[in-house]
Amino acid sequence: MKALIIGTGAVGCAVAIAVADGGMETAVIAKGETAGYIKKNGLKRTGIFGELDIPAQDILVYEDYDSIEGAFDYIAVAVKTGANKEIAKNLSEHKSIMGENGKIILFQNGWGNDEPYLEYFPASQVFNARVITGFERLKPGVTNVTVHTAPILLGSLHGESVEGLEPLAKAINDSGIPSEVSTELMQALWAKMLYNTTLNPLGAIMGMSYGELAGSEHLQGIMNRLIEETFAVMDAAGYRTFWNNAGEYMDIFYSKLIPDTFAHRASTLQDIEKRKKTEIDTLNGCIRDIGKKHGVPTPTHDMIVELIKGIEDVRCQQ
C-alpha cells in the first residue's frame, strides 16, 4: 500500500515513520530545509515509545503537487488547520494522487476540519483521526513522543465504513504508538475538543504545562468554566461525547487526563514560541461560533480567543 503525508511537523513525521516502518511505500510533501533534511537523513522518532529510524532511501520527498507520481491509498493531512482550504483545493486539482479508492485522513486538532474537503470529495473518502498523544518536533524530520493517554483513533464522522482504515491503524500501532479504528469518532473528537480547548490556549497564555495549570485553584476555576460552556454548546448543537455532563468529565479530567499528560506543553504554546499563528479558530473559536449559532453564551471561550489573538498580533509573524 502507498501513503502520502502532507505536513512534516511532529505529528506528520510520526505518521510517516509509522507507515514506512509498516512496509508501505511512503512519501511526504515538504519544502526548503525540511525537504533537504529528510532527503539526506530520513526520519527519526524518539520518546516514550522508543527510537525508530527510517533511512532516507525509504522516504520519497515531493516539494509540490505537480511532481507527485502515482496514486496513494492514504493521504494523511497533518498540517495546521488554517491550511485546509488550500490543501483541499490542491488535492481536487490533482485527483490522480488519490485514485478511485484513496482516503484522506485528517490528523488535526479542532472540529469542522473536514468541511473544505467535502466540497470536493465524497464522505466515503474523507476521514478523521483523534490524536491525544503528545508530540514535539525536535528538528526537521525528528519527532519526539512526550506523553500518551489514549490510542490514536481513525474513523468517519459521516457513517462510512472504517474497514479500509484498518491497515493504516495497524501500521501506526505496530510502530509502537497505540492506534485503532473506531465507529464512535464523533464522541472521541468532542472528548478531544474538551481536552484541547480547556488546556491548549490557557497553557499558551500562561506559559505552563498541563500539570502546572491544574496546580492552581484560580486556573482550575477558569478550566471548569471552559468545560461547562463546552458542554452547554454540545447539548444545544446535538453533539455527544463519552460523558453526560461537565461534572462527569471533570472527574476524569483531573484524576486521569491531567496526570497522564502532566508535563506536556501544549502545541498552541509551541506555536507561540515559534512565532507562528495558532489553531485557535478551530478550537475555542469553534466553540464560540457554534455557541453563537445556537444562542449559547461562551464568555470564557470568547476571552481566551481574544487573548490568543492578541498574543498573535504582537508575537507571531505568520
Burial class (CB in 10 A: 0-12, 13-18, 19+), 206: middle
192 is catalytic: yes
- Locate the DSSP E strands across 248-294: none
DSSP 8-state class, residue 257: I
**How far does the chain reach from its first CA to its final CA, in angstroms?**
36
For residues 229 and 299, give the distance between their C-alpha atoms in angstroms, rounded to a whole number.
8
Q: What is the H or E stretch that residue 134 is in?
A: strand 134-139
Encode 5-39: b = buried (16+ Cβ within 10 Å), e = exposed: bbbbbbbbbbbbbbbbbbebbbbbbbeeebbebbb
Active-site option among 80, 89, 192, 276: 192
Strand order, beta sheet including 134-139: 52-54, 43-47, 142-147, 134-139
Residues pairing with 137 in the sheet: 143
For residues 254 and 261, give the distance between their C-alpha atoms in angstroms, rounded to a whole number.
11
DSSP string, 145-184: EEE-SS-EEEE-SSS---GGGHHHHHHHHHTTS-EEE-S-
DSSP 8-state class, residue 121: S
CB atoms within 10 A of CB 71: 16
Residues 135/14, Cβ–Cβ less than 8 Å = yes
* Residue 150, amino acid: A
Could you list the active site residues? 192
